[in-house]
Amino acid sequence: MKLKTIIVEDEETSREILRNYLTKYCPKVDIVGEAANVDEALVLIRNHELDLVFLDVEMPKGNAFDLLEQVGDRSFETVFVTAYNQYAMDALNTHASYYLLKPVSIDELIKAVDYVSEIKTKENALDNKVLTAHTIDKQGKITIPVQDGFEVLSAQDILYCKADDNYTEIFLKNDEKKLVSKTLKFFQDALTYFGFARVHKSYLVNVNEITAYKKGKGGSVVLSSGKEVMVSASQKANLLTYFQ
């Protein structure tokens, strides 16, 4: 599939370089417009059904984060392009699919486009289909430490887990919450076999409890409790494989 794309970059030379690289090395991309600032970018975004936006961080009349805030719900993926690597964490938190440093590496650019193409292909394949999550239906139990010993939890009674620094909050289907002095990575390793997926740096969810997937604001899932959890761009492709 072709990815309808715009380039948002205030430097003309940088736009030209990126345009030439995409044209020569990324045949999956269809560049439908270019913008030099936030205002121009908003016009393009509102007038096109986009799949991908290449976005410089610092621009006249605002920055990339201002632009995404004004856009609100969005179904396109973003690839940040900047000379300043201190924006990496902000990029991830804003659900950028990829982060490219200037001068842009052709190999990294191809990887970025391929990753977005994978996400879009999987999303499109899931549209208007009756789905069954491809999880391993196994019963399992885990133990969590408590003050006077440990407590045993059934894996399938867990709705989702949320990171809290070096602690993890475990949310159960019965509306109980447990605070455990172990990292989310510990529970990711322990629960993956039982149909749990890491969807964000802060969230691990029971895939069997997902009732909806939303493309808006970069992507989110709705759980059976009504809780909506953001899906980071780096975890989208992995999550969508559960529903193919």
Domains of the chain by residue range: 3-126, 141-243
Half-sphere exposure of 31 (CA within 13 A, CB side): 18
Q: Which CATH class is domain 3-126?
A: alpha beta
8 A C-beta contact, residue 203 and residue 66: no
8 A C-beta contact, residue 118 and residue 244: no
Asked if pLDDT for residue 141 goes beyond 70, the answer is: yes
CATH architecture of 141-243: Beta Barrel (2.40)
Rounded-to-integer distance, Cα 230 and Cα 228, Å: 7
Q: What is the per-residue pLDDT across 38-59, written as a single tens digit (0 to 9) for each?
A: 999 999 999 999 999 999 988 8
Rounded-to-integer distance, Cα 96 and Cα 63, Å: 14
Rounded-to-integer distance, Cα 155 and Cα 172, Å: 9
For residue 237, give both structure tokens. 């492709």
Average pLDDT of the segment spanning 136-142: 69
How does DSSP classify residue 218?
G
- What pTM did the predictor assign? 0.73
Question: Which pLDDT belongs to residue 117?
Answer: 93
Q: What is the per-residue pLDDT across 104-132, written as a single tens digit (0 to 9) for each?
A: 999 999 999 999 999 888 887 766 555 55
Question: Which pLDDT belongs to residue 19?
Answer: 97
For residue 142, give both structure tokens. 């885990």
Rounded-to-integer distance, Cα 137 and Cα 193, Å: 9
As a whole number, the mean pLDDT across the chain is 87
8 A C-beta contact, residue 240 and residue 102: no
Q: Which residue blocks in 62-139 are alpha helix, DSSP H?
A: 64-71, 88-93, 106-126
8 A C-beta contact, residue 223 and residue 229: yes
pLDDT interval class at 135 (50, 70, 90): low
Q: What is the per-residue pLDDT across 207-232, written as a single tens digit (0 to 9) for each?
A: 989 988 887 666 888 999 999 998 88
